Amino acid sequence: MTAPARLSRSNEVPAISPVLVVDDSKAQRRLLTRTLENWGYETLEAGSGEEALELCRVTPFDIVISDWMMPGMSGAEFCRAFRASTDRPAFFILLTAQTEREILAEGLDSGADDFLSKPFHAVELRARLGAGQRVIQSQQALSAKNDMLTTTLEELSDAYAAIERDLKGARAFQEGLVPERFVSFAGADVSLLFRSSGHVGGDLVGYFPVRDGEVGVFSVDVSGHGVASALMTARIAGYFSAGSPDRNIALRKAGNGYEMLPLLEVCSRLNDILMMDADSDLYLTMAIARVDLKRRRVDLCQAGHPSPAIQRGNGEISLPDMWSTPIGLLDVGDFAKTTLEFEAGDRFMLYSDGLTECPNPDGELLDDEGLERIMRGHSGKTGLAYVDALLDSLTDYRGSGDFPDDISAAVVEFR
């Protein structure tokens, strides 16, 4: 290898690998290499295409200058073999005294990038080299960006895989927040339906024992979707915990047990908690009921939630018209309260708007009429068979199990 000559800063060339000079004429090779070295290039020489290929196996080249007419392997044949032996985007210049279009076309077809007439002119050679360097540098920059993009995509893929695992774990955790889907109390059964629209959702349904003959039932729908809503849902589940009555904001100590607070006070307490959370802009709708199992009497408080659906033993269905504000939206909420009386064989359902706002393939919402139709069609079923039939009918209406919003409901049936 010949050491490069020192140049002034204005004559320095960008760093590239050595230039390969291939010519069967030693004098021609020396003339070329001396010229290149005077311009600051490092060079390697080969006297034939075969010798040049051997050099290419051990040394990477960004620029190759090869004579066309050589004994044995011609310059065009060497170019074709060189391209086949490496993926490196080298700039290949063929030296030729021929100017016929067919000859030049053959050179381009073999993989040559440019031509230089023999005998060469220094000004023209330098211009060709400058063009070649710009091409090589552009290709190297593109290759570096492609490598960076590949690395970034791999990192994103790993990150998405990790997020997917975390979301699956979060979904399992959230499903665990919903208590046992069916529980039987003295005089009534409670069945729960829960289906999130994505990995995690903002709906929550549940129940908690209060004292003998009394149980609390609730349905919650946190605004938005995704992780933030799911975290809020987990927080709300703690506020209505069945396993930790001391933490349940709907209960207070009463003798040796607990009693349920007035429902308007429960909603107001939860509203105050959310309004004090300045870091969150989430709010929720809720329906909460105190069920007197002995008298079949239900005190119900609604906070922006859909009206309860009542189905009598004779199949008659009604949806009481109630208006109220959500929780966590206003400093002082305007919540609705009512009392409902039931007979044996009656049922009522608290549910999120994912049911009535479920669209069919044409975009038409189920609405209250559609919900009544589905409930009427399954009036003969009870317990989990009833809520599962509701979900099946909703899936049929939707055309798939891919719901745009969470689906949840709590059904209380009086035996």
**For residue 199, what is the DSSP state?**
S
Tokens of residue 351, six digits: 């549910």
What one-letter code names the amino acid at 84? A
pLDDT on residue 169: 63
Lowest model confidence (mean pLDDT) among 61-75, 176-190, 209-223: 176-190
What one-letter code names the amino acid at 276? M
Between CA 14 and CA 25, with CA 20 as vertex, the angle to 5 degrees is 135
What one-letter code names the amino acid at 299? D
Do 390 and 371 meet the contact criterion of CB atoms below 8 Å apart?
no
pLDDT band at 7 (very low <50, low <70, confident <90, very high): very low
Domains defined along the chain, listed by start: 9-145 (3.40.50.2300), 178-414 (3.60.40.10)
User: In terms of Cα–Cα distance, which of 306, 311, 261, 313 is closest to 287?
Assistant: 306
Contacts for 160 with CB less than 8 Å, ≥ 6 apart: none
pLDDT band at 243 (very low <50, low <70, confident <90, very high): confident
The whole-number average pLDDT for the span 87-109 is 82
**For residue 11, what is the DSSP state?**
G
Do 68 and 74 meet the contact criterion of CB atoms below 8 Å apart?
yes
Measured CA to CA, the distance from residue 288 to residue 23 in angstroms comes to 92
List b or e across 35-68, with b for residues whose CB sees 16 or more CB atoms inside 10 angstroms: bbbebbbbbbbbebbebbbeebeeeebbbbbbbb
171 CB burial (10 A radius; 0-12, 13-18, 19+): middle
Does the pLDDT value for residue 163 go beyond 70?
no
- Edge to edge, what strands does the sheet with 214-222 contain? 203-211, 214-222, 284-292, 297-303, 336-341
What is the model's pTM? 0.64
pLDDT digits (tens, 9 = 90+) for 293-351: 999 999 999 999 999 999 999 989 999 989 999 999 999 999 999 999 999 999 999 99
pLDDT digits (tens, 9 = 90+) for 351-400: 999 999 999 999 999 999 999 999 999 999 999 999 999 999 999 999 99
Does the pLDDT value for residue 1 go beyond 60?
no
Which neighbouring-strand residues pair with 2? 43
**For residue 339, what is the DSSP state?**
E
Q: How far is CA 151 from CA 42, 61, 138, 143, in A?
A: 33, 26, 20, 12
Quick one: which H or E segment has residue 285?
strand 284-292
